[in-house]
Amino acid sequence: MTLSERNEASTRTGLIDMQLARAGWSRNRRTLIEEFLLKATEPDSAYGNEQFADYVLLGSDGKPIAVVEAKRSARDEIAGKRQAADYADAIKAKFGDDPFIFLTNGKEIQFWDRDRYAPRKIAGFYTRDDLERLRHQRQYAQPLHEVTINADIAGRDYQNEAIRRVTEGIDAAKRKFLLVMATGTGKTRTTIALVDTLLRSKRVQRVLFLADRRELVRQAMSEFKSHLPNESLARIEAGETSGARIQFSTYPSMMQVYERLSVGYYDLIVADESHRSIYQRYKAVFDHFDAIQLGLTATPTDYIDHNTFDLFDCGDGAPSYYYSYEQAIADKNLVNYRVLDAQTNFQLQGIQGDTLPEPLKQMARDQGVELDELNFDGSDIEKGIINQGTNDAMAREFMDKCRKDVRGLPHKSIVFAVSHAHAKRLYESFNRLYPELQRQGMAEIIDSHMERADATLDDFKYKTMPRVAISVDMLDTGVDVPAIQNLVFAKPVFSRVKFWQMIGRGTRLHTDKTTGEIKKDFLIIDHWKNFAYFKLKPDGEVDHPTEPLPVRLFRLRLEKWLLLHAQQQDVQLAIEELRAMIAALPRLSINVRPHWDELDALMQHWPAPSQGTQEHLSQTIAPLMRLAPLAGLDELQFRIWCERLTVAWLKADAGEQAKVSEHIREAVTSLADNIPDVQRVAEQRAWVLSAGFWQHLDMPRLATLQTLFAPLMRYRTSTPSHTVEINLPDSITQRSWIIYGPTGEGAFAESYREQVEALVRRMAEQLPELAKLKQGGTLNDEEIDHISVTLNQADLFVTEDTLRKAFEAPAASLADCLRHILCEDAQLPNREERINTAFDAFIAAHGYLRANQLNFLRAVKAAVLRHGRITRAALSEPPLLRIGRVETLFPSQDIEELIHLANQLLDEAA
pLDDT at 6 over 60: no
Give the mean model confidence (pLDDT) for residues 244-270.
94
| 449-490 residue pLDDT tens | 899 988 999 999 999 999 999 999 888 776 789 999 999 999
Phi-psi bin for 723: left (phi > 0), alpha (psi -120 to 50), beta? Answer: beta
Give the mean model confidence (pLDDT) for residues 178-204.
93
Residue 72 or 577, more confident = 577
d(CA 292, CA 203): 10
pLDDT at 679 over 80: yes
User: Which pLDDT does position 133 carry in this prediction?
Assistant: 96
User: Which pLDDT does position 41 carry in this prediction?
Assistant: 52
Please name which of 271, 285, 283, 294 lies closest in space to residue 175, comparing C-alpha atoms. Answer: 294
User: Which pLDDT does position 578 carry in this prediction?
Assistant: 94
How many Cβ atoms are within 10 Å of 36's Cβ, its own excluded? 20
User: Which pLDDT does position 311 carry in this prediction?
Assistant: 74
User: Which pLDDT does position 779 carry in this prediction?
Assistant: 83
| 714-752 residue pLDDT tens | 888 865 556 677 777 777 665 666 666 776 666 666 677
- Confidence class for position 543, pLDDT limits 50, 70, 90: very low
Q: Answer whether 330's CB lies under 8 Å from 364's CB.
A: no
d(CA 130, CA 102): 14
pLDDT at 907 over 60: no
In this structure, of 200-209, 303-312, 707-716, the range with the lowest mean pLDDT score is 303-312
| 45-78 residue pLDDT tens | 445 556 788 899 999 999 999 999 988 877 888 9
Give the mean model confidence (pLDDT) for residues 107-115.
93
Give the mean model confidence (pLDDT) for residues 396-422.
91
How deeply is 833 buried, as exposed, middle or buried, from its count of CB atoms within 10 A (0-12, 13-18, 19+)? exposed
Give the mean model confidence (pLDDT) for residues 96-121.
93
| DSSP string for 763-826 | HTTT-HHHHHHHTT----HHHHHHHHHHHSSTTT---HHHHHHHTT-TT--HHHHHHHHH-TT-
Q: Answer whether 423's CB lies under 8 Å from 472's CB.
A: yes
d(CA 464, CA 881): 48
| DSSP string for 599-622 | HHHHHH-PPPP-HHHHHHIIIIIG
Give the mean model confidence (pLDDT) for residues 95-111.
93
Residue 264 or 733, more confident = 264
Most confident of 114-118, 314-318, 775-779: 114-118
| 342-383 residue pLDDT tens | 888 777 777 777 777 777 788 888 888 777 777 776 677 777
| 273-300 residue pLDDT tens | 776 566 667 888 999 999 999 999 887 7
How deeply is 584 buried, as exposed, middle or buried, from its count of CB atoms within 10 A (0-12, 13-18, 19+)? middle
- Going across the sheet that includes 207-211, the strands are 233-235, 246-250, 207-211, 268-271, 292-297, 176-181, 321-323
Give the mean model confidence (pLDDT) for residues 189-210.
96
Q: pTM (2 decimals)?
A: 0.70
Query: Which residues, 6 or more positions from 431, have their beta carbon under 8 angstroms from its beta carbon?
Result: 438
